[in-house]
A and B are shown apart, each in its own frame.
Chain A
Amino acid sequence: MTDLAIIAVISIFTAGLTVSFGALGPALGEGRAAAAAIAAMAQQPDAAPTLSRTLFVSLAMIESTAIYCFVVAMILLFANPFWSAVQGAAGG
């Protein structure tokens, strides 16, 4: 395989792996957070506005780890620095 092919294979494989593991962890965490918040809301309906506001903020903070993984995968697929370096060296 040429250098370009090796870089392409590893990049695509790693991008898939990044998104899969990056979706796994936050999904579990968000499920637990939402379940806890809903249980708390069922116990105390008066506190629902505060709880839902806190839930939204914490969900977004948990989700940001998934977003980091997504950004890394996007960089690997569409703005890969090694790909452009090898292409530049090859004169392409």
Chain B
Amino acid sequence: MQLTPDDIVVFTLAGWKINATIVNTWIVMALLVGVSMLVTRNLRADVPPNRWRTALEVIVKMIQGQIEEVARSSARHVMYFSGTLFLFIALSNLMLVIPGFSPPTSSLSTTVALALSVLVAVPVFGIATGGVGSYLKTFVQPSVIMLPFNIIGEFSRGISLAIRLYGNIMSGAVIAAILLTVAPFFFPVVMDLLGLLTGMIQAYIFAMLATVYISSATAEPDPSLPKHEDKP
């Protein structure tokens, strides 16, 4: 049984073993970039929108709306980051229906890389909005006693982000493989259907949690001060 696509070596490039995870990540990236570039090639005001452009706009508007509900301030830069995470994870999870394609998110190295990028993005966004001092102040937020727990929490949520995505996608693949040996005709299709649902939910949750972490690190206005902007 194949627990991870890291073990499948597709080809060797100048002594480097290029495994299926890297190749599948390239395929997903090429699909995302290629389709977006093809669709937005004629992005001018005088060109009427076609159905592809409308579809992309619907996706972007949906991501924007979801993120603005969670992160009220500085939503635009967070959207570039979390939206990219969502699109990449969602597409790679959805491509599990293609026979022979093992999604790159079912490898622990991909999910650890994504979680590391979240861990780096949290202080970057926090410092960019409020400066170094106010970001470091979030670590001693309730009191100084909570400092070690806040530091531990920072790392543990990175680990849990990585393991959650990996475990969900890998478990879907493993259960489908086990059922393939037990009841090969109909049941694996149902489990793949469930895998599609789980993949979308996990992609949503990964992006949502990244947004929540970032928006909790970006300095919020002091609650004692009156709010300057209150949306109805």
Binding site for B on A (CB under 8 A): 50, 56-57, 60-61, 63-64, 67-68, 70-71, 74, 78-79
In the complex, whether B160 has a CB less than 8 A from a CB of chain A is yes
A67-B168 in contact (CB<8A): yes
Q: Are A56 and B163 in contact (CB under 8 A)?
A: no
Q: Does B35 contact A (CB under 8 A)?
A: no
Q: How far is the CB of B133 from chain A (nearest CB, A)?
A: 31
B204 touches A67 (CB 8 A): no
Closest 9 pairs (CB-CB, A-B): A67-B167, A64-B164, A60-B205, A71-B167, A70-B171, A78-B3, A57-B205, A57-B208, A67-B168
Q: What 4 additional pairs, Cβ within 8 angstroms, besides A67-B164, A67-B168? A: A60-B205, A61-B164, A67-B167, A74-B170
| Range, interface on chain B | 10 to 19
The DSSP consensus for interface residues of chain B is: helix
Inter-chain contacts of A78 with B (CB < 8 A): 1, 3
Q: Is the CB of B202 within 8 A of A71?
A: no
Known interface pairs A56-B204, A56-B205, A57-B209. Does A74 touch B164 (Cβ–Cβ under 8 Å)? no
Q: Return the chain A residue nearest B166 by Cβ.
A: A71
A68 surroundings in chain B (CB, below 8 A): 163, 167
Identify which of residues 198-219 in chain B touch chain A, using a CB-to-CB cut-off of 8 Å: 201-202, 204-205, 208-209
In the assembled complex, the CB of B216 is this many whole angstroms from the nearest CB of chain A, namely: 14
A71 CA / B205 CA spacing, docked (Å): 19
- Measured CA separation A70–B178 after assembly (Å): 14
B114 to chain A, nearest CB (A): 15
| A64 with B160, Cβ < 8 A, contacts A56-B201, A57-B208 known | yes
Task: Determine which of A50, A60, A67 lies in contact with B163 in the assembled complex, contact meaning CB atoms within 8 Å.
Answer: A67
The residues of A that contact B204 with a CB separation of less than 8 Å are 56
B23 within 8 A of A: no
Instruction: Assess whether B164 is in contact with A60, with CB atoms less than 8 Å apart.
Output: yes
- Check B201 against A64 for contact (C-beta < 8 Å): no
In the docked arrangement, what's the CA distance between A50 and B204, Å?
A: 14
Name the residue in B69, B167, B204 with the highest tally of chain A Cβ atoms < 10 Å from its Cβ: B167
